Structure 1
């Protein structure tokens, strides 16, 4: 009987922590037949930061276009990352809160595992901002691996 590959969802946000999680996956648990789904949930930082933008719809449109361009460039880099590592897979951009995006994508794709990094937020910041890794661990119905880089 031929071995079937797993579907593995990995959260990618451009941070050092998500790159660490991807590298950890590669070095420690990657199987040749795995299908990796890199999930990017872009946060549009420049939108809504200016009260001027509310009065100027043209400015808002420019900001949206710029954010979309950045997201596309990031996705292209992720596709290259998969190719360079020799991994079969794809990149998905999913809107919304990153934790929800990871869990929903894993469910939709019938994934076997979710891998995510951690931002290492302190207790207060985690309480106010919410922790993606905490959310994923609480809401996922499949195994979750949270990768934390050792402090320097």
Structure 2
């Protein structure tokens, strides 16, 4: 019998959008034999590599402590969510620009599918800065599922 294990990568951060993506996976896509990789790209990895303003070691140290604490909280939150949904997997922390780092992690892990939340940026902002979901969609070697949060202000919906 062929190996039926899928490796699903879900990008996480401390937003409602990534929580919605995880919940969508757990409720609609999950199969018991799935292996889950939650990938997290801390914000500071991008800031530290691009900012010339961070020359004060005390500021850098405080920033790192704050981000490490937020990352620990995030890992704990998703560890609990995985246990609640009886999902097995691990968290992979990746450094760099978020889109590039997620794609790099997806290749390292040999994933079957990539799942992302989206902040639903407006057209102008997305045109100038791009979005992580756009980047991943165009650079992924595997199918990408982009979950738009129902309450996103840019979601299309019927008004009564």
Q: What TM-score, normalized by structure 2, do the two folds share?
A: 0.83
CA distance, structure 2, for counterparts of residue 96 and residue 46 of structure 1: 9
CA contact (8 A) 1:11 1:117 kept: yes
Q: Cα–Cα, structure 1 residues 59 and 151, in superposed 2: closer, same or farther, change >3 Å?
A: closer
* TM-score normalised by length of structure 1: 0.87
Per-residue deviation, residues 66-87 of structure 1 (Å, max 9, x unmatched)? 2222212222222222112110
Structure 1 position 128, deviation (Å): 2.3
* 1:1-152 alignment runs, 5 A limit: 1=1, 3-44=3-44, 54=55, 56-151=56-151
Change (3 A) 1:79 1:151: closer
For residue 62 of structure 1, report the CA deviation from its aligned partner.
Answer: 2.6
Alignment match, 2:155:
none
Does structure 2 retain, via aligned residues, the 8 Å contact 1:13–1:40? yes
Moved over 6 A (4+): 45-49
CA distance in 1, matches of 2:77, 2:23: 15
Q: Return the alpha-carbon distance in structure 1 between the equivalents of residues 59 and 122 of structure 2.
A: 36
Gaps of 5+ in 2: 153-160
Matched positions, count? 150
User: For residue 156 of structure 2, what is the aligned residue in structure 1?
Assistant: none
In structure 1, distance between residues paired with 2:101 and 2:110: 14
Please state how far the C-alpha of 1:100 moved relative to its aligned partner.
Answer: 1.5
